[in-house]
Amino acid sequence: MSSTSTRPARARSAEEKHQRRYDILRAAERLWTAASYAELSMNQVAREAGLAKGTLYLYFDTKEELFLALLGEHLHRWIGATAELFTERRPRSPEQVAAVLLHHAEHLTPLRRLLVLLGTVLERNVRPELALEFRRDLDLQLRRLVAHMPYDPDTAMRVLRHLYAMTIGWQQLSESLPGSDPVTAQPRGPQDSGLYSEFELALRAILHQLTPSEPLAATAS
């Protein structure tokens, strides 16, 4: 955590402001790895970033606005990387599509945690125009991803909606009490140490149900 006692000068150029905003997001992300969203405060983020609290509010009006921006970063990164994988691999079967969508899935916990917050906390507590702007940008990004998938647009969007719903559900299950089954509340057995394999199983089943065994080639190059 930052321990500097000297507050940095106010950012003036566009580049300095961009860097300051980036530093704030990274500070919030570092803190969030060890604390829940409810426990985290804007004061803590300001201290971690080495800023005065008033400076922090020049960039984000609320904690919800800050975390919505953080989610936007993670989504842009995942969508861009996944679109590139579709272009590189050109999957032609449900199994191959699943492999693309599950690529690095075990390392996407921050994104999954943020998606859980989206509908329950973030969008309900930010300015309506900001929430609308976020949704419009997300829709644009998803349509770009759909263009790289080997399905017609309606089918591709259905796949992504199921992926989104499962991501939230399985992440919530994984955050249940340590050592207990999230459904029965009974102690987990040795075979139940993780939920990732169950998430993978569910995604593959949905892809086989929604899509043909030999999908069309992706339309984007």
Residue 33 pairs with which residues in a beta bridge?
Answer: none
Other Cβ atoms closer than 10 A to 4: 10
Residue range 201-216, pLDDT digits in tens: 999 999 999 987 665 5
Domain end marker among 56, 88, 106: 56
Are 101 and 40 contained in the same domain?
no
Does 221 reside within a domain? no
Its domain, for residue 34, covers 14-56
Q: Looking at residue 117, which CATH number applies to its domain?
A: 1.10.357.10
Q: What value does the mean pLDDT take over residues 70-95?
A: 95
Closest CA to 75 of 126, 125, 22, 137: 137
pLDDT in tens, 2-36: 444 445 556 578 888 899 999 999 999 999 988 88
Q: Are residues 40 and 121 in the same domain?
A: no
User: Taking the complete model, does pTM exceed 0.85, yes or no?
Assistant: no
CA 199 to chain centre: 16
